[in-house]
Chains A and B, each alone.
Chain A
Amino acid sequence: MRPRKLVFSPARRPILVVLLLVTTLMGASCAGQTTPSSGQPVQGGIATFAEPANTTPNYIFPFMSTAYFSVTTVSDLQYLMYRPLYWFGDNGQPVLNDRLSLADYPTFSDANRTVTVKLRDYAWSDNTKVTADSVVFWINMMKAEKKNWAVYVPGGIPDDIDSVTADSPNQVTFHLNQSYSAKWFVYNELAQITPLPHAWDRTATGTSDCEHDVGDCTAVYDYLTAAAKTINSYATNPLWQVVDGPWRLKSFNADGNISFIPNKSYSGPNKPHLAQFNEAPFSDNAAEYNVLRSGDNSIQVGYLPPENAPAKPDDQAVGHNPLENNYTLDRWYSFAVNYFVLNSHNPKVGPIFQQQYFRQALASLVDQKSIIKAAVHGYGATTNGPVPTTPSNPYASDMTEPNPFTYDPERASRLLADHGWSTPRDGVGTCERPGTGPNQCGPGVTAGTQLDFQMMYATGTPQINLAMQQLQSSATKVGIKLDLQGAPFNTVIGTAIPCDAGKPDCNWEMGNWGAGWVFAPDFYPTGEQIFGTGAGSNQGSFSDPKLDQLIAVTQHSDSPEALQAYAQYGSQTVPVIWGPNYDYAETEIANNLKGVTPQSPYLNITPEDWYYVR
């Protein structure tokens, strides 16, 4: 049989050309594989770290407003170059790291009203020293521009400092407005200080003197802020090349592709082993995972998306790593508590939320362990109260562990019934015994009030969806009806805000954005920002005078019992409804890269400790 004549031979030529081109390019782009390691440390090499999905560092000036404050900006950019006065996170523990701090632990005197900080011998890369003036520069900037400091809380630093003096080039003294707990002041106040270089004390017209005169600071702030908003000049602007950390920028791309090279004049104890450290942005978890499993060795420290994480057996730290040929799996805990909030000021249901027994009943309906197992394959820890218990830390104690309100629908039913509520299974409970007595519904709750609530939660993450469905299912068993309303994360955090009863924005009832609170840079978990009456991040407007008093004690007393008392009472009074604290990430570390673990529960990274082995 004669071959059929092809009518379109001229038109086929482009197709053939394209196919040939594709084939050629395929060959040209063949990727490498991770080199197996035999354990000999080597100096040099390049390591690339995968940034969290859709999140990239975007601001270089450490004195920044809330708009720019994020874990990635602080931990993955600023701290690599501009070291904070005190470093937190040591050997995987949520504690102060003396070795990496720029100063000795401060000396407290005058009944803890005077704090003396002695600086260690650190230098800026322009050959000047990190001095007391570098610290005062920051404090003066705080005084002048506190409304532009991301974590400013009225009454906190710098309001609680009456004066600060540079006693000598390496000693600075703070005079406080009252006596504070040494630990609280170091962990939550001094922790916010990042010494600034003299080279930054300038404006567009020349040098300035913010180091000594608060009046000069606004102009300096404006100048540095303007420079920080020219994002594509980060790697070239000489200002930002003056660093005291182990790294300086080699290149910076606004998409999040960042390269650091070692700061040759770094005077700290852990000088970089790598010749270069890169950060790579990813649009989503799946894109990052695709790169990891392709085995092209372009990422050395990445992460396993929750949906791809292997089920974790109860007796093991992690499950079977699907990328074990190239990577080692490690859990990255964050020092955090997870919870959802109840709007105590809601005119309709607020009076119910103000009842402790109701909050305890609702907490008893959250099956944290099952959610962790089902939703994130075991990679999480229960939240038992206002002080995180995972990773193990010196703040949690037997008094906060175990959670007094673990999953127990019967307890929930009993608590409601004991306080005058009907608890029909699959129905809606009503208040049958109104009043303020011990076995009545409580103040403000009228007869016939129904246990019928709207729960707004952030959609987009399977674990939150599943947690909400579990709670809804458990709640129906005791007569609580939850109307689940999924919404984007930003809608939830924009709606679940502290509010005044009667105002239009106070009609929300329950809100769950799924992330709770990470204790950084308030490293000491005293909770004044989230549970204190009137606190800016007390979204549910919770108020309990005794809890306020216990929080105040933690701020003024160094006794470990103060934090324990707060934690214990917070666990009992349930200011928010605790939920599972999911791991920050399941980190995949190239098998030939060492020094990455243990990872900091404060989410800092220290690539200067990383090194290759062969």
Chain B
Amino acid sequence: MTGFITRRLLQSIVVVLLVTVIVFILLHLLPGGPARAQLGPRATPAAIATFNHQMGYDRSLPVQYWHWLTELVTGNLGFSVKFNQSVASLIGERLPKTLVLTVLSTLFALVVAIPLGMVQAVKRNHAADYAITFWAFVFYATPPFFLGVVLIVVFSVYLPILPAEAPQSSSLGVILSQPGGLILPVLTLALLTIAQFSRYMRSSVIENLTEDYVRTARAKGAGERSVLIRHVLRNSLIPVATLLGLSLPAIFSGALITEAVFNFPGMGQLFWTAAQTQDYPIMLGITVLVGVATVIGSLLADLAYAVLDPRVRYA
């Protein structure tokens, strides 16, 4: 197992480096350039030249990349002029907010989707299954911006019982002390995820219910509840574990649309603003973060298989 993890981590470093090279090149192919994007239409050619020199954009691409890489090794992700902050500091401020949103919604989705999927599988082709399937498709097909606005209109405008925006603070403690403001954004993200997870869970449970080990358990006298909870649930969680592993990058990169609808400046908005202003240091910093999250997520998913399925062994 240790050898497996070591090999995967070494491969991951290469993958992340390759990703940064590709992103670095693509960024510099964007028309316009960062100077105009950040200085605006009033910038004079002299101001643009000064900016490019101060930011090092007047150097060759390999030199710029090497400089960025060597700084990265020392933990310096660069400085964003647009935000007047270091990228590390920006990520340090935005990431906890995003994590509050995405982790809460994912946990909530898991808590709801797993039982829902099991109910559907057990009650397959019955009214409950049809009803849950109907709503799962509705939420799965609903764009988050629309769902968010509908929730705001219902719960903030017509029934003014919840705030229309998420808590406005950079302090995690303050954000968590205002849970009312988190309900709608968490719900917006969670409803979509519940729809997705519950469909996978339903299929997986249906498949497992036909397996020999289930028949054996029943033959040995295990009760229906025991069969489902002790035997079927664990095996049925494998596809959900895969989904969770693949969700890790999204958890770190933020939920742009939900953040925008609920005015909750997290990682998604940070990346969006950086992309609009061609803020290279931020885009590269987030790329590294999401790249690392992706490889770690897939590694964790692989490890979760071994935990959930005793037949899986890594050497």
Contacts and interface: CB of A to CB of B under 8 A. Distances in A.
A and B are interacting partners: yes
Interface of A: 7-8, 10-12, 14-15, 18, 22, 25-31, 54, 58-59, 65-70, 147-148, 150-151, 153-154, 228-229, 231-232, 253-255, 257, 280-284, 286-288, 290-291, 293-296, 298, 487-495, 497-498, 513, 515, 517, 529, 536-537, 539
A19 B181 CA distance: 16
A54 B82 CA distance: 11
B44 A254 contact: no
Interface in B80-118: 81-85, 89-90, 93, 108, 111-112, 114-115, 118
Contacts of A59: 84
A573 B25 CA distance: 44
Nearest to A11: B115
B115 A12 contact: yes
Contact of B149 (A290, A296, A497): A290
A217 to B, nearest CB: 17
A579 to B, nearest CB: 14
A493 B37 contact: yes
A31 B163 contact: yes
Q: Is the interface of B mostly helix, strand, loop or mixed?
A: helix
A537 B44 CA distance: 6
A107 to B, nearest CB: 32
Nearest to A539: B41
B308 interface: no
B37 A490 contact: yes
Given A14-B111, A29-B181, A7 B122 contact: yes
Contacts of A58: 82-84
Nearest to B35: A494
B301 interface: no
Given A11-B118, A18-B108, A18-B112, A495 B32 contact: yes
Interface in B121-176: 122, 149, 152, 155-157, 160-165, 168-170
Range of interface residues on B (Cβ < 8 Å): 35 or more
Among A228, A287, A296, A517, max chain B CB count under 10 A is at A287
B273 A536 contact: no
Interface in B213-235: 224-225, 228-229
B84 A253 contact: no
Given A25-B180, A281-B265, A490-B276, A290 B93 contact: no
21 contacts: A8-B119, A14-B112, A25-B180, A29-B178, A66-B43, A66-B51, A148-B50, A229-B79, A229-B84, A229-B85, A232-B85, A232-B89, A254-B170, A282-B263, A287-B164, A287-B165, A287-B262, A294-B152, A294-B160, A494-B33, A537-B41
A296 B164 contact: yes
Interface in B24-72: 30-33, 35-47, 50-51
Contacts of A229: 79, 84-85
B260 interface: yes
Nearest to A149: B47
B243 interface: no
A518 to B, nearest CB: 9
B115 A255 contact: no
A303 B36 CA distance: 28
Contacts of A18: 108, 111-112
A147 B50 contact: yes
Contacts of B269: 283
Interface string B258-282: 0111111100010001001110000
B39 A283 contact: no
A31 B161 CA distance: 7
A294 B163 CA distance: 8
A495 B273 contact: no
A294 B157 contact: yes
A498 B265 contact: no
Contacts of B30: 491
Contact of A30 (B44, B89, B157, B160): B160
Contacts of A153: 44
A66 B39 contact: yes
Given A257-B168, A286-B149, A537-B42, A296 B115 contact: no
Contacts of A492: 32
Given A296-B163, A495-B31, A497-B36, A22 B183 contact: yes
Contacts of A498: 45
A464 to B, nearest CB: 14
Given A29-B162, A490-B277, A231 B156 contact: no
Given A29-B163, A294-B157, 6 more contacts: A14-B115, A25-B179, A281-B263, A494-B32, A498-B45, A537-B42
